[in-house]
Chains A and B, each alone.
Chain A
Amino acid sequence: MSSTSRPTNRPRPRPRKFVYVAAGVLALSTLAACGGGGSSSSGGAAPAAGGASPSASLVAGASCKSSSATKITFWAWVPGMDRAVNEFNKTHPNICVTQENPGAGLPTYQALTNTLKAGSGAPDVAEVEFAELPSFEVLNQLVDLSQYGANNYKSKFVSWAWQQVSRGSKVLAMPSDFGPMAFYYNSPLLAEHKIEPPTTWAEFTDAAVTLHKADPKVVLINFGPSDLQWLVDLMAQAGASPFGYAGGDQVKINWTGPAQLKFADFWQNLINQKAVSTIAPNSTQPPISQDRGLIASELASAWRPSYFQPQAKRSMGDWRAAPLPQWTAGANVETDWGGSVYPVFKQSKHPAEAAQFAEWLTATDEAWNILKTPPSSLFPTYAPLLNSAEFKSLTYPVSGKSKPNEVFVDAATTLAPVQWPPFMVAALNQATTTFGQVENGKQTLRQAFQAFQGQMVKYAQQQGFKVTTS
């Protein structure tokens, strides 16, 4: 090859300065590469093996007094939880809790599942929703808290909550907050059309049809079945709970029984009449539409007023709570949507201290005095606070002078039991696709129920469960 055959597009030589810059960059990054332990040079692997992030030690050191304290790792996403952790560390010098937050909901469950399966890296205590607890129970990864005195706290909690976290005398987790549901509505808007809050689902249908006829731009409610928790909670109120799980390798999946299909047809009727909208429930749209008076109500849980508030603008002060409509006139069956519990994982090297923290966090006035205030604003399963006059009479600017907690607290005493599958993340994921077809107008709710039944049964069998369908 002679030099003349060099391509003519060879770049012009650069001034020397840049050579030095480039060489510097290279030198720097070569150093970095070696420091990474990629090579076998001595000491190179040290930082990798240490694996400690400077930040983690910083956080722990900041809130703990004693360096000899037992170290507990705690995952939670509730806003303002750090205040409670700091308070605990201050009052319990022998234990040092470090809070981490892998992200609300799904990111946390993914990280938990990954670390539990991998055998290391899981926290001692974590925030988990009620619906997700069986998914960790089935992995046989939960410490039975009864051996650390958890049953002593039983009477401090709403009975529904304790039922959800215990199996006989075994305690899988400490319950924290929850969300009894109510009919939460834009009161001037309904009043304008002379509609009273419905007390039965039949009245609900009438209200929806009347409202939409009176003003075709407006619907009574947004029905978003792809939010599986919400859907199953409403089905539980109708006595049509589609899942059953009581530990072990047996799971009940029933989306196609008479009660379930009746529930599906009830809502499909409203969808057909366009008396309800079917917008993606977790998108930004429903709250905006609600604020603009395009959606007149929602089937909301107790934490809703404080959550909706920052998004309300035009409808500030207009929102009121009424008990859920009933399937049988005069009945009083309510249901819960959401809420968190705090299990201790078997990977923990200090289960006693971890349990002590979980119990303090959920069953003491000190913790609740912090967690009831913003930004946490949790709705307690802790009865002393729940039933206090002060809590019931709380007001929210979005609800004007009304006291929504009166309705929500009342609902807490008559909650329908509900059970969750031991593979909740998979179910949620599948639900977005399957029930999304209903929101999309491509399938009826009945068709989606039937499809979902097949998908869930197949998945459960693949995962080795014994499936019953009634």
Chain B
Amino acid sequence: MSHTAVRTRQDPDRTAARTHAVRTAWVRRRDRRGFVFVAPFIAAFVLFILVPLGYAIYSSFYTTRIIGGTVFAGADNYRQVLGSGQFWSGVVRVVVFGAIQITIMLVIAFFFATIFDLGLVKFGRTFRTIYFIPFAVPIVVAALMWGFLLQPRFGPFTRLAEVAGFPGTNFLSDKLMLPSIILIVIWEWTGYNMIILYTALKSVPRDLVEAAILDGARVWKIIFRIKLPLVRPAIVMLIFLNSIGASQLFVEPLILNNYQNGVITNYWTPTYFIYNTAVAGSQYNLAAAMAVILGLVVVFISVAALIVRRRKGELT
């Protein structure tokens, strides 16, 4: 149907009115149909997330003992978790971990994404593919590999450090465990973040950049004044998703614990603490309370970040 055909038959205003009438009719009828599309997802969501979550919250108010069975505990479990220095030391550790790891990773990812986007390197396509490879490595396998590489005394990295003039380096010692895990996580996720940023940068309209160049803008200005603001939403989303990932740091400590005792304490990260409390300690109810509190901490930090951004007027 051509544009002119419409115009000759009816005047614009009446067309709009009619479309509106049709729309409201659709809205009513669409109600159910929309839900049909959403329903399977919601059903699975309720069954496999909400129901177990509800059960976890419910059971966090009870306590099950080997001798004496299950009794109502009120807020006892919560009191115990809130007063547990070990739990909060884990929370602080993942916050520190997240702050350092996410910053370094995003800087590296943004740097490479930018130079690929500007075409400042040869073989960009090959490099992008290589950088993405770790995404294909399951985290358990990645942690096992890095455990071999970094293990004290006989790990190849340890021996390289020895050759480089740092004898007796222990990458999994008290001091270096967190940096080592940061290194591993950066290895795992930088490529993925880089690709997302690269695609975002690519979508910045070319004419904007061309206009800036004609105005005599230098490359730094193009990157930080034009491109960066336009990909900020992508960065914000990456920060959010990476933070949630960081708050659930678990597999890497679990695997690396095999190579060095005493460094990864059983409360090293909150999720690892929850796992140990529930699985090894059989204190399932206490673990449930920990999980609820951890969830609340994450929600609290997210909401706080949201409010700050809204204050700054960055959020529409």
> Which A residues contact B (CB, under 8 angstroms)?
7-9, 33, 38-39, 106, 110, 113, 138-139, 224, 226, 249, 279-285, 288-289, 422-423, 425-426, 428-430, 432-433, 435-440, 442, 459, 462-465
Query: When chains A and B are docked, how far (Å) is the Cα of A110 from the Cα of B278?
Result: 10
In whole Å, how far is B86's beta carbon from the nearest beta carbon of chain A?
Answer: 10
Tell me which residues across on chain A come within 8 A of B205, comparing CB atoms: 8
A436 touches B259 (CB 8 A): no
In whole Å, how far is B283's beta carbon from the nearest beta carbon of chain A?
Answer: 7
B261 touches A436 (CB 8 A): yes
Query: When chains A and B are docked, how far (Å) is the Cα of A226 from the Cα of B264?
Result: 13
Tell me which residues across on chain B come within 8 A of A433, comparing CB atoms: 262, 265-267
Instruction: Check if B154 is an interface residue, CB within 8 A of chain A.
Output: yes
Shortest Cβ distance from A422 into B: residue: B66
A284 touches B154 (CB 8 A): yes
A284 touches B151 (CB 8 A): yes
Binary interface profile of B, 23-41, with partner A (CB < 8 Å = 1, else 0)?
0000000000000000010
B261 touches A280 (CB 8 A): yes
Given known pairs A283-B258, A288-B154, A442-B262, the reply for A423 and B43 (CB within 8 Å) is no
Given known pairs A426-B280, A465-B67, the reply for A38 and B44 (CB within 8 Å) is yes
With A8-B203, A284-B154, A425-B280 already in contact, 12 other A-B pairs whose C-beta atoms are closer than 8 Å: A38-B44, A113-B282, A138-B66, A280-B260, A281-B261, A282-B261, A283-B258, A429-B280, A432-B262, A435-B262, A440-B173, A462-B283
10 A–B contacts from the bound complex (CB under 8 Å): A7-B203, A106-B280, A113-B282, A139-B66, A279-B152, A280-B260, A281-B261, A432-B262, A433-B265, A464-B66
Shortest Cβ distance from B174 into A: residue: A440
A428 touches B280 (CB 8 A): yes
In whole Å, how far is A208's beta carbon from the nearest beta carbon of chain B?
Answer: 20
In whole Å, how far is B59's beta carbon from the nearest beta carbon of chain A?
Answer: 12
Tell me which residues across on chain B come within 8 A of A7, comparing CB atoms: 203
Give which listed residue, A38, A283, A430, A459, contacts B40 with CB less than 8 A. Answer: A38
Give which listed residue, A279, A282, A285, A429, contacts B266 with CB less than 8 A. Answer: A429
Interface centre among B47, B68, B265, B281 (most CB of A within 10 A): B281
B203 touches A423 (CB 8 A): no
B266 touches A463 (CB 8 A): no
Given known pairs A8-B205, A422-B66, A426-B282, the reply for A285 and B265 (CB within 8 Å) is no
Shortest Cβ distance from B199 into A: residue: A9
Size category of the B interface is 20 to 34
Interface centre among B261, B276, B282 (most CB of A within 10 A): B261
Interface centre among B67, B174, B262 (most CB of A within 10 A): B262
Instruction: Check if B279 is an interface residue, CB within 8 A of chain A.
Output: yes
Give which listed residue, B47, B151, B263, B281, contacts A440 with CB less than 8 A. Answer: B263
Given known pairs A110-B279, A285-B154, A440-B174, the reply for A38 and B43 (CB within 8 Å) is yes
Given known pairs A423-B282, A432-B261, A440-B174, the reply for A464 and B68 (CB within 8 Å) is yes
Q: Which residues 66-100 of B sit at the A interface, judged by CB distance below 8 A?
A: 66-68
Instruction: Check if B180 is an interface residue, CB within 8 A of chain A.
Output: no
Instruction: Check if B169 is an interface residue, CB within 8 A of chain A.
Output: no
In whole Å, how far is B154's beta carbon from the nearest beta carbon of chain A?
Answer: 6
Pairs A-B, 5 closest by C-beta atoms: A436-B262, A464-B67, A9-B203, A429-B280, A436-B261
B259 touches A439 (CB 8 A): no
Tell me the interface secondary structure of chain B in the complex: loop
Query: When chains A and B are docked, how far (Å) is the Cα of A415 from the Cα of B279?
Result: 32
Tell me which residues across on chain B come within 8 A of A288, comparing CB atoms: 153-154
B67 touches A439 (CB 8 A): no
B280 touches A465 (CB 8 A): no
Tell me which residues across on chain B come within 8 A of A38, comparing CB atoms: 40, 43-44, 47
Shortest Cβ distance from B204 into A: residue: A9
Given known pairs A284-B259, A463-B65, the reply for A289 and B265 (CB within 8 Å) is no
Tell me which residues across on chain B come within 8 A of A423, comparing CB atoms: 66, 282
Interface centre among A7, A224, A442, A463 (most CB of B within 10 A): A463
B265 touches A436 (CB 8 A): yes
Give which listed residue, B66, B152, B260, B261, contacts A435 with CB less than 8 A. Answer: B261
Tell me which residues across on chain A come within 8 A of B279, comparing CB atoms: 110
Shortest Cβ distance from A33 into B: residue: B40
Tell me which residues across on chain B come within 8 A of A428, comparing CB atoms: 280
Given known pairs A285-B153, A289-B153, A426-B280, the reply for A280 and B259 (CB within 8 Å) is yes
Tell me which residues across on chain A come within 8 A of B260, comparing CB atoms: 280, 283
Query: When chains A and B are docked, how far (Å) is the Cα of A402 from the Cα of B221?
Result: 78
Shortest Cβ distance from A448 into B: residue: B262
In whole Å, how far is A278's beta carbon from the nearest beta carbon of chain B?
Answer: 9
Tell me which residues across on chain B come within 8 A of A435, comparing CB atoms: 261-262
B203 touches A429 (CB 8 A): no
Shortest Cβ distance from A7 into B: residue: B203
Tell me which residues across on chain A come within 8 A of B44, comparing CB atoms: 33, 38
A429 touches B263 (CB 8 A): no
Tell me which residues across on chain A come within 8 A of B68, comparing CB atoms: 464
Query: When chains A and B are docked, how far (Å) is the Cα of A33 from the Cα of B43?
Result: 11
Shortest Cβ distance from B86 into A: residue: A433
Instruction: Check if B257 is an interface residue, CB within 8 A of chain A.
Output: yes
Tell me which residues across on chain A come within 8 A of B47, comparing CB atoms: 38
B67 touches A432 (CB 8 A): no
In whole Å, how far is A70's beta carbon from the nearest beta carbon of chain B?
Answer: 32
Tell me which residues across on chain A come within 8 A of B282, comparing CB atoms: 113, 423, 425-426, 463
Tell me which residues across on chain B come within 8 A of A110, comparing CB atoms: 279-280
